[in-house]
Chains A and B, each alone.
Chain A
Amino acid sequence: QSALTQPPSASGSPGQSVVISCTGTSSDVGGYNYVSWYQQHPGKVPKLTIYEVTKRPSGVPDRFSGSKSGNTASLTVSGLQPEDEADYYCSSYAGDNNPVVFGGGTKLTVL
């Protein structure tokens, strides 16, 4: 069982928006602004998509955005495109004794 809870699947049609949630506790997501999101296409290496809750690395389209409220972080993908179909994982800092925790992943399908 993963430390952070994500829905196993999400879907949307091209052009639509989708929100993927990531629920933790006050000891991880809620306690720090150190939430990140990774996109992983099948057979590929995870790619950093969002860091520090809301920031995008260079090269990541601004269709991807992040937010947080309480113990739940969210990744919003706007204007869905076929290439957005992938698995998405959230991650959070969870204190010095357990610095990195991941969510179980969400499979995003573009219909």
Chain B
Amino acid sequence: QVQLVQSGAEVKTPGASVTVSCKASGYRFTTCAIHWVRQAPGQGLEWMGWINPAKGYTKYSQKFQGRVTITTDTSASTAYMELSSLRSEDTAVYYCARPYTCGIDWFDPWGPGTLVTVSS
């Protein structure tokens, strides 16, 4: 079955960058986009962006434009999300997710989430 496995928790200082990985299995990686969504403690879901692994095309939320970079390594069926210039408000669980129906943006499955803590 389709499965997404994410890298482990990170602790970063303000101003640093973080990269979270998301390894996909159970389907052909290039056939479906990968999205990134984050959730701050006690808060709601926030869409960050997506990538088309086949073409490398990306689309980012305006909120994160300039600070987020999503890439893939198709040989490893892995997507990466890098967030730079971290601040305390970036403390959140970061999820990768695949569309339930490729090409349309509702998500299932989701990765288990990666907690990123930004603290001095």
Q: Does A64 contact B (CB under 8 A)?
A: no
> Which residue of the partner chain, among A52, A57, A98, contacts B62 with CB atoms under 8 Å?
A98
Q: Does B45 contact A (CB under 8 A)?
A: yes
CA distance A80 to B105 in the complex (A): 28
B46 touches A91 (CB 8 A): no
B105 touches A38 (CB 8 A): no
A102 touches B106 (CB 8 A): no
- Closest A residue to B59 using CB positions: A99
User: B interface, by DSSP: helix, strand, loop or mixed?
Assistant: strand
A48 touches B106 (CB 8 A): yes
Q: Which positions 80-114 of chain B face chain A at CB distance < 8 Å?
A: 95, 100-101, 104-108, 110-113
Q: Which positions 57-111 of chain A face chain B at CB distance < 8 Å?
A: 57, 89, 91, 93, 96-105
A99 touches B50 (CB 8 A): yes
Interface string of B20-59 (1 = CB under 8 A from A): 0000000000000001010000001111001000000001
Q: Does A7 contact B (CB under 8 A)?
A: no
Tell me the smallest distance from the CB of A14 to a CB of chain B, in Å.
26
> Which residue of the partner chain, among B44, B62, B104, B111, contacts A105 with CB atoms under 8 Å?
B44
CA distance A65 to B52 in the complex (A): 31
Q: Does A46 contact B (CB under 8 A)?
A: yes
Q: Which residues of chain B have a CB within 8 Å of any CB of chain A?
A: 35, 37, 44-47, 50, 59, 61-62, 95, 100-101, 104-108, 110-113
In the complex, given contacts A38-B107, A99-B50, A101-B47, what are 10 additional A-B residue pairs having Cβ atoms less than 8 angstroms apart?
A: A34-B106, A36-B107, A45-B95, A48-B100, A57-B100, A91-B45, A99-B105, A100-B50, A102-B44, A103-B44
